[in-house]
């Protein structure tokens, strides 16, 4: 069963992609500047925001990742329902 996609789906997906890009960049920066407290604070803030946006997305559209990283609240296994995040 494919879930209905609406404008909010794409808006949340863009937010997830943007915040995760920021987290990758901050991770790379922190690898070479591990004592930068401001960068670490930003990383923690964006990490919390990433979890929040993903929780909203998964609550409405299903899990983003498998292998126990994303919860599957049920009542059925939802990982196989499309569209897959990379199909958007």
**Best CA proximity match to 4, nearest among 81, 75, 74, 59:** 81
Task: Grade residue 81 by pLDDT with cuts at 50, 70 and 90.
Answer: low
- The whole-number pLDDT of residue 20 equals 94
> For the segment 8-66, what is each residue's pLDDT rounded down to a tens digit?
999 999 999 999 999 999 998 888 888 888 989 898 999 999 999 999 998 888 888 76
Tell me the CA distances in angstroms from 62 to 4, 19, 25, 33, 44, one per residue in order.
11, 19, 27, 36, 25
- The whole-number pLDDT of residue 73 equals 54
- Asked if the model's pLDDT at residue 78 lies above 90, the reply is no
């Amino acid at each position: 069963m494919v879930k209905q996609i609406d404008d909010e789906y794409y808006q949340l997906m863009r937010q997830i992609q943007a915040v995760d890009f920021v987290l990758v960049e901050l991770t790379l920066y922190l690898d070479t500047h591990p004592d930068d407290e401001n960068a670490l604070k930003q990383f923690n803030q964006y990490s919390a925001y990433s979890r929040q946006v993903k929780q909203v997305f998964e609550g409405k559209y299903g899990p983003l990742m498998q292998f126990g990283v994303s919860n599957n609240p049920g009542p059925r296994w939802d990982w196989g329902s499309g569209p897959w995040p990379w199909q958007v």
